Amino acid sequence: MKTRRIGPFEVSAVGLGCMNLSHAYGVPPSRQTAAAVLLGALDQGITLFDTAALYGFGSNEELVGDVLAVHRERIVLTSKCGMQGVNGQRVIDGRPETLRASVEASLKRLKTDVIDLLYLHRLDPAVPIEDSVGAMAGLVQAGKLRALGLSEVSAATLRRAHAVHPIAALQSEYSLWTRNPEIAVLQACRELGTAFVAFSPLGRGFLGGKLRSVHTLEPKDIRRAMPRFSPELFAANLGLLDVFCQEALTLGCAPATLALAWLLHQGDDIVPIPGTSRPEHVRDLALAPLLALNATTLQRLDALINQRTVRGARYSSATQAEIDTEEF
């Protein structure tokens, strides 16, 4: 496994997003299957594991802690605060006292004394970013965190936060079919020395090539509320997928491997964190750093799937109102 840098850490070039092992995409896999995914990723050389207090309202952190605590010295452990479950509801709360309490709870669930990298999961519009990051910086000084990150924020917010404490990583959605970071955030990260961690690098499963009908999505799958996954727009986007899968076939790799390889070619400071609930798919993710793409292939992919060719917004208007990212 090739490696990349996030702040003080050397991490696998591809990490593992753990959310879908407990959260968001319908009924999660069994505990046994989820553990097989985590341990399979470790066996493939993946060392970066990403969870959050929100995922499964704490259960994802408990899963990661239960399975990986014995391997703690081999991994870079990341989590998020500032958005969590309260009385069964998702709540954004960036107040310093809330963040401090959230971290204490996360440490217990993760079975560790320190979290390597903690992100502010969402910007709380009621709390200045300086206050939230200031509280997190205090936890670094207290030895409970090693580095700080932000999730789904704009270039302007990143700069304000970085003025309070160095921001080791900014996490946002980035893939062939979600290009928003190219507007401003990627450039800001490079100016500040902040790594970019790409979540949903497989387009929430679309670029994996297996999902061919949204009617198969489970009732509580969050994709049902995303415009791109509405039946009409999804059907329109399937034409792009057919050509993309043919590109992967020509190269002799899985579509997921190709999607991740494209992302890795966008810069050495980019670390994708795909997720999967199937142990047999982990190897496709781990192979991406080994797939070299020439300029002609990269140009074809860029022209095929981009913000002009994909139909539909990535979020509903209500969800978009909760985040701080630049939008086309």
| Angle 210-269-54 from CA coordinates, rounded to 5° | 60
Q: What is the pLDDT of residue 236?
A: 95
pLDDT digits (tens, 9 = 90+) for 33-66: 999 999 999 999 999 999 999 999 999 999 999 9
pLDDT digits (tens, 9 = 90+) for 119-156: 999 999 999 999 999 999 999 999 999 999 999 999 99
pLDDT digits (tens, 9 = 90+) for 195-212: 999 999 999 999 999 999
Q: What are the C-alpha distances in Å from 193 to residues 9, 156, 269?
A: 13, 15, 9
Below-50 pLDDT ranges, the chain: none
Q: What is the pLDDT of residue 45?
A: 98
Annotation marks residue 55 as catalytic: yes
Burial of 220 (0-12, 13-18, 19+ CB in 10 A): exposed
Span between the terminal Cα atoms of the chain, in Å: 34
Q: Which of 55, 119, 174, 315 is catalytic?
A: 55
Q: What is the pLDDT of residue 233?
A: 97
Q: What is the pLDDT of residue 200?
A: 98
Q: What is the pTM of this model?
A: 0.97
Q: What is the pLDDT of residue 258?
A: 98
* Domain coordinates in residue numbering, the chain: 3-320
Q: What is the pLDDT of residue 226?
A: 97
The Cα–Cα gap between 173 and 272 comes to 9
Multiple choice CATH, 3-320, 3.50.30.10, 3.20.20.100, 3.40.50.2300, 3.40.190.10: 3.20.20.100
The Cα–Cα gap between 140 and 246 comes to 47
